[in-house]
Chains A and B, each alone.
Chain A
């Protein structure tokens, strides 16, 4: 292993390996413009309504019944929520307008085009790619996580970042924010990833190609497609059916697998339990929409028959239970003795959710929220005190109203940091009572290690939850550092399901979106806690599952959708992939050729390479010739 690392060091000298510098000033500028500009006018409307109508008519009405019997207080009360909703919608509208403006500016400076962007050579294209990626994030969160997720299609079309057809639903997911083209009447299931950009390694490339999805395509859930994929019309994907870069799916069929491939009648029936005649009818309907009625008839017949069967033998489940119980009694005699080593081997990965929620933990929540809330109300008090009524002197109120978005932002940040501070105080106290430690514990109430693990996890949830739902979720690195992950600000964890203790990270670690990083795992009755270590420049792909005890060596890459095993050690400078992940090849993305793309045709099961121009500034092209 030693010689291997030396060799690669020599090779590293030959190729350029420059770290990418992110331009935080531009990011923050665009973010604050969007934030301030979008909240200004809704804020003015809200404040004016409150001061002129709501407070004098509702709050200063002393009698409860006259709130409902007199017309003006009643109307003021009824319209308050409506005004809030209207302000919210205006906020969305202004976000879209300003984002569109910024997007067009960046588009003029450096237009989007297909190609591979080298990540180790700084260039204008790379900079604008990063600025756009950052800029679209805040509006995307507001639209997709907000009150009206149905407006997000309109938003993406309006801004021009991606094209989404009519009648299409895209459920919440970590990507799908730019450069994708989805047809009409499609359904993209929850947590599936459609991404037009893919990072190979810290010194590798960014693959940036448009992702096309045809009409009437349905992705069930957890489907992953990377840049350059092309899903044809009527392709129906089972859960987990995923493809890498440049997969072409011709459509008109069901697909499954990892990587995906076509499945035929038998498999479709096995996976979905849809009778053959209905599948045949559906095929007819797909070819000719006039066959809708006959398909409906077949479906209703099936459903009626099914409900009759359900009524006849209702205790279907208990029968099943009986069957399985009988089977257990048979198989019990065949099992090897309890002492058998292989039987207790931990050769699979599960998850680390808290298995027992205790309402007692809420006792800690109330003081944390209360104390940090007092900090916020002090700011609000200072902001509004000693002001004459607005009817008497409106000029004094003008700066107050204009500064409202900034005050709200600072109140939010104060609240978050207040929560963080008080959580830290409680955490220190709790850790004094019981020190967190690695090992195997029983996951039952009464075991102190388990109880305190649950308590710590629930407690740490408040600040991290608040930060991640704030306009600037990138601040969570602070929270992680405070709460027990050793990391610096060059790596980020903001789009990851992540435990908050026993994780060590080196410099410039990139963790893909939707990955799960666990330092604790619940298996059966036992809780395993073990340290997870990431060395410098490691990349963890999207939708990965990192089990406790995983150690990832320097400059290594774990491919997307992989799963590591408990206590697995990954060596330096390799690309790992699979379930559980094994060595695929050496990490040589920095010196790899960039003018080829490898296309995969799923239906024909063919692979072929095509030449494609590298996406880099004209004056930087000579750097590639080494």
Chain B
């Protein structure tokens, strides 16, 4: 799997910039991490640089760049952690509903935290192997294990707990903060063990996903929704679809034979989860009347069109 060429993906730091001076923290982090890499280059130069016999210098140069890169990530992580500790001492990050306005303190500090996290996350994600991403997550306080795969979609870097063996699918978004209207909603998201989140899913802040759950492709959860253990959820917003029996043992043969599925039947099943609109206060007769009027109007318009 590979991220499209116009996207970054991985740990997500929103680029909302409330105050322009926050960029100075960002540039400081870039500067510090580059200095550490340059000092490594200096050391290497002292040991191996020889203009007459340059073979060793050039042979090991790629490895040096590899190490320099990892040093850069680690240094920037350490310094950003330090900055975050200082910033959090001034204002403790908290959950709740805040105003999307520069005068709101929580909104400003949320933006500042994201700006500080941006450079280490950017650096870590510019390397194809995801272990650096997972170091970032752990460093910024997301509870996760190294085996989790959280790098195909966008995962926020605070107020999230992951269980073991979680799969976050391609292009799916796991949030602990969302901007809706004039509000910034920050809620703690908890995702249990063995959860499989499908492609193009959105997990909104405050969602609790129980163990062994599957969230089908193209669905989203609402704020503070609780998904029960061991169910398959599908829909916009997610609703119970069926019990998850795919964690049972020895199903290989059985699964290979249940492939030809009638799409129309699934469509009927999906109807409730995706398409039904719950406006039941209008009676059927009124609905039909409205429909008729609409059709008549359309006909009239078409007739008038040249």
Contacts and interface: CB of A to CB of B under 8 A. Distances in A.
Interface in A227-243: 234, 236, 238-240
A369 B17 CA distance: 36
A299 B217 contact: no
Contacts of B27: 85
Interface in A260-294: 261, 270-274, 278, 282, 285-286, 292
Contacts of A149: 15
A462 B206 contact: no
Nearest to A378: B58
Given A240-B220, A385-B54, A497-B2, 10 more contacts: A85-B27, A272-B222, A282-B181, A324-B226, A366-B63, A468-B5, A524-B196, A525-B251, A580-B267, A609-B305
28 contacts: A58-B42, A80-B35, A144-B6, A145-B8, A174-B6, A218-B181, A239-B173, A257-B236, A271-B223, A274-B183, A278-B97, A286-B182, A292-B103, A299-B98, A324-B228, A328-B229, A348-B234, A353-B170, A374-B59, A513-B4, A513-B6, A514-B7, A525-B246, A525-B248, A565-B266, A566-B259, A568-B263, A608-B301
A607 B298 CA distance: 8
Contacts of A380: 58
Contacts of A296: 99, 103-104
A358 to B, nearest CB: 8
Given A169-B15, A239-B173, A582-B267, A303 B218 contact: no
A81 B58 contact: no
A461 B2 contact: yes
A338 B267 contact: no
A462 B6 contact: no
Given A361-B129, A465-B2, A191 B7 contact: yes
B202 A221 contact: yes
B129 A348 contact: no
B5 A473 contact: yes
B157 interface: no
A473 to B, nearest CB: 4
Nearest to A348: B216
A607 B291 CA distance: 12
B93 to A, nearest CB: 12
A496 interface: yes
Contacts of B175: 221
A191 B154 contact: yes
B160 interface: no
B86 interface: no
A278 B190 CA distance: 26
Contacts of B25: none
B14 A351 contact: no
Contacts of B97: 274, 278, 299, 302-303
A117 to B, nearest CB: 22
A567 B180 CA distance: 37
A499 B152 CA distance: 12
A299 to B, nearest CB: 6
Interface in B193-233: 194, 196-202, 204, 206, 208, 210, 212, 214-218, 220, 222-224, 226, 228-230, 232
Interface in B1-55: 1-8, 12, 14-17, 23, 27, 30-31, 34-35, 38, 41-42, 45-46, 49, 54
B101 to A, nearest CB: 7
Interface in A354-395: 354-359, 361-362, 365-366, 369-370, 372-374, 376-378, 380-381, 385
B192 to A, nearest CB: 9
A205 B215 CA distance: 36
Nearest to B214: A350
A147 interface: yes
B148 interface: yes
Contact of B252 (A234, A254, A366, A442): A442
A81 B75 CA distance: 14
Contacts of A321: 210, 229
A437 to B, nearest CB: 12
Contacts of B94: 303, 307
A307 B62 contact: no
B91 interface: no
A285 B30 CA distance: 40
A465 B128 contact: yes
A12 interface: no
